[in-house]
């Protein structure tokens, strides 16, 4: 059933005149899946409504923040209350410390932190701090991992597996990209080779401990532990980018699950309950390098914004109070959804690999396995695009790219999961 998108189409035509690609962020343009993206008018719980009043089950959840569902009453009330006292001060306020105390309790590796307004700012600032703290210039990242759009991190692998990076975007100078090495995820060989060749020269290793930006890909057993060991012995900092996994895969993020203490952690998304908010933090002896205490400059007009703090406090307080029930339910529903859709695909003779980690999951249209970006890139993206379009027409809004993770919220019910699996079965039966 094709959905009528008259109002969305009118809004899209205006947006095309005003914004490059008609969007505020590229993935929203549906380039990878085709079709016209509906414009969202409102959302509540697990559902979105577009400008033509079509309803959708939401499985991208604002790309991670909406773990409690949209318009969660305690969050809405907290933001409304805070807004009565102005929406921004540009000065220290009580709410910053209140949210920070919730963070350091959830992340024992964080003694001190700094709020910023996005995950990009968190990662960008964390590597600057790591370079200053170590006096070193090289940064190691991993193919398929995304840490926001700072120049140093828009870098792809060079010609050889463990060679210096090349620009991953126009506008990134080779000189900048050449200070970053992009290695294969889940493969220790290139890491050991690079640390042998550049011993004492690598400022940090930055990783998504559970990758979400190549689609969902978990670390192999022992992989993260080995990165912790290698970086510690070389005096390089290990930075966990938990912008997506923080408060998502567990209340204390991936580092709680794997019992690993990184030197620095980047946070975002759920931290601000859906308002613009990021943070980076770690041991005080590292963080005290930041201005005005230390020589590393970092700043932000809206850092610690009172509304973002209020939304974050309401979100993390609810998660903390109900963490047992919420995370076990997210794991159960995530597993049921992942397996149910995969089973339906296999019944229809469609090759599919499912990677699920708590309430993050991706269906890769390949026989797999998918343990790194090369494995993800083997997916049949045309089949994914047809699947995405057919599911959207069935009222199910999946992330519009094979290389993104889908997210469940605490508002998704078992009935929603069953509805989604049945819709997928019908789509696959028509060779979606
Ligand atoms: P932001 O600057 O978009 O707040 O955060 C960048 C970022 C950093 N680290 C991780 C692990 C991330 O997943 C992200 C942003 N994620 C994407 C979705 N995969 C945001 C969606 C978008 O770019 O529109």
- The b/e string for 111-130 (b: 16+ C-beta within 10 A; e otherwise) is ebbbbbbbbbbbbbbbbbbb
Closest-lying ligand 1 atom to the alpha carbon of residue 278: 4
The band of 1, judged by pLDDT with boundaries at 50, 70 and 90, is very low
DSSP 60: S
Chain CA centroid to CA 250, Å: 14
What pLDDT is attached to residue 47?
A: 98
Q: What's the pTM?
A: 0.98
Please name the residue whose Cα sits nearest to atom 19 of ligand 1: 213
Q: Is 304 helix (H, G, I), strand (E, B) or coil?
A: coil
269 is catalytic: yes
241 is catalytic: yes
- Mean pLDDT (the chain) is 97
Q: Is 411 helix (H, G, I), strand (E, B) or coil?
A: coil
Please name the residue whose Cα sits nearest to atom 18 of ligand 1: 63
Q: Rounded to whole angstroms, how far apart are CA atoms 15 and 23? A: 7
Q: Rounded to whole angstroms, how far apart are CA atoms 177 and 155? A: 6
Mean pLDDT of 45-61: 98
Q: Is pLDDT of 38 > 50?
A: yes
For ligand 1, say whether the CB of 61 is within 6 Å of any of its atoms.
no
Omega prior to 292 cis, within 30 of 0:
yes
Q: Where are the alpha helices (DSSP H) in 168-219?
A: 174-177, 188-197
Please name the residue whose Cα sits nearest to atom 1 of ligand 1: 119
Q: Is pLDDT of 185 > 90?
A: yes
Mean pLDDT of 83-98: 98
CB atoms within 10 A of CB 19: 12
For ligand 1, say whether the CB of 207 is within 6 Å of any of its atoms.
no
Mean pLDDT of 92-105: 98
Closest-lying ligand 1 atom to the alpha carbon of residue 242: 11
The three-point CA angle 116-72-302 to 5° equals: 20
Closest-lying ligand 1 atom to the alpha carbon of residue 268: 4
What is the maximal distance between C-alpha atoms in the chain? 62
Q: Rounded to whole angstroms, how far apart are CA atoms 373 and 409? A: 26
Q: Is pLDDT of 198 > 70?
A: yes
Q: Rounded to whole angstroms, how far apart are CA atoms 383 and 386? A: 5
Mean pLDDT of 351-377: 97
Q: Is pLDDT of 75 > 70?
A: yes
For ligand 1, say whether the CB of 243 is within 6 Å of any of its atoms.
yes
For ligand 1, say whether the CB of 263 is within 6 Å of any of its atoms.
no
Domains and CATH numbers, the chain: 6-63+323-431 (3.90.1150.10), 73-321 (3.40.640.10)
Q: Which of 29, 119, 127, 255 for a ligand 1 pocket mutation test, highest count of atoms within 8 Å of Cβ?
A: 119
Q: Which of 58, 269, 327, 416 is catalytic?
A: 269
Q: Rounded to whole angstroms, how far apart are CA atoms 268 and 287? A: 18
The band of 2, judged by pLDDT with boundaries at 50, 70 and 90, is low
DSSP 276: S
138 is catalytic: no
Of all helices (H) and strands (E), which one includes residue 315? helix 306-321
For ligand 1, say whether the CB of 432 is within 6 Å of any of its atoms.
no
Please name the residue whose Cα sits nearest to atom 16 of ligand 1: 63
Q: Which of 58, 241, 263, 416 is catalytic?
A: 241
The band of 157, judged by pLDDT with boundaries at 50, 70 and 90, is confident
| Tokens 């903390």 belong to residue | 320
Q: Torsion-angle region of residue 155: left (phi > 0), alpha (psi -120 to 50) or beta?
A: beta
Of all helices (H) and strands (E), which one includes residue 344? helix 323-347
Q: Which residues on adjacent β-strands are paired with residue 296?
A: 290
């Amino acid at each position: 059933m094709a959905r009528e998108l008259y109002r969305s189409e009118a809004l899209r035509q205006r947006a095309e005149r005003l914004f490059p690609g008609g969007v505020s962020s590229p993935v929203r343009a549906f380039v990878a899946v085709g079709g016209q993206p509906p414009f969202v008018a409102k959302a509540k719980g697990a559902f979105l409504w577009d400008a033509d009043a079509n309803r959708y089950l939401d499985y991208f959840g604002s790309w991670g923040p909406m773990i409690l569902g949209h318009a969660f009453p305690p969050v809405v009330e907290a933001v409304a209350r805070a807004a009565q006292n102005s929406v921004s001060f540009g000065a220290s306020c009580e709410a910053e410390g209140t949210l920070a105390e919730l963070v350091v309790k959830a992340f024992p590796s964080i003694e001190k932190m700094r709020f910023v307004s996005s995950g990009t700012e968190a990662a960008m600032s964390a590597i600057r701090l790591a370079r200053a703290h170590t006096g070193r210039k090289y940064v190691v990242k991993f193919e398929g991992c995304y840490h926001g759009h700072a120049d140093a991190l828009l870098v792809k692998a060079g010609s050889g597996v463990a060679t210096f990076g090349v620009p991953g975007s126009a506008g990134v100078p080779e000189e900048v990209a050449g200070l970053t090495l992009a290695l294969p995820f889940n493969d220790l060989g290139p890491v050991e080779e690079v640390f042998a060749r550049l011993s004492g020269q690598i400022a940090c290793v930055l990783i998504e401990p559970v990758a979400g930006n190549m689609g969902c890909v978990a670390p192999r057993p022992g992989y993260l532990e080995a990165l912790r060991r290698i970086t510690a012995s070389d005096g390089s900092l290990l930075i966990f980018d938990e912008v997506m996994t923080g408060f998502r895969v567990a209340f204390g993020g991936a580092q709680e699950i794997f019992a690993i203490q990184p030197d620095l952690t980047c946070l975002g998304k759920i931290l601000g309950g859906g308002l613009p908010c990021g943070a980076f933090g770690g041991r005080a002896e590292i963080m005290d390098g930041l201005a005005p205490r230390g020589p590393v400059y970092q700043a932000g007009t809206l850092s610690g914004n009172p509304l973002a703090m209020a939304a974050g406090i309401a979100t993390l307080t609810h998660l903390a109070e109900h963490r047992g029930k919420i995370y076990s339910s997210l794991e159960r529903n995530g597993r049921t959804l992942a397996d149910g859709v995969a089973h339906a695909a296999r019944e229809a003779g469609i090759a599919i690999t499912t990677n699920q980690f708590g309430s993050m999951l991706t269906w890769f249209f390949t026989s797999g396995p998918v343990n790194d970006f090369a494995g993800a890139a083997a997916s049949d993206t045309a089949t994914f695009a047809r699947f995405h379009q057919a599911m959207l027409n069935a009222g199910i809004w999946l992330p519009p790219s094979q290389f993104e993770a889908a997210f469940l919220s605490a508002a998704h019910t078992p009935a929603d999961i069953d509805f989604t699996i049945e819709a997928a079965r019908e789509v696959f039966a028509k060779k979606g």
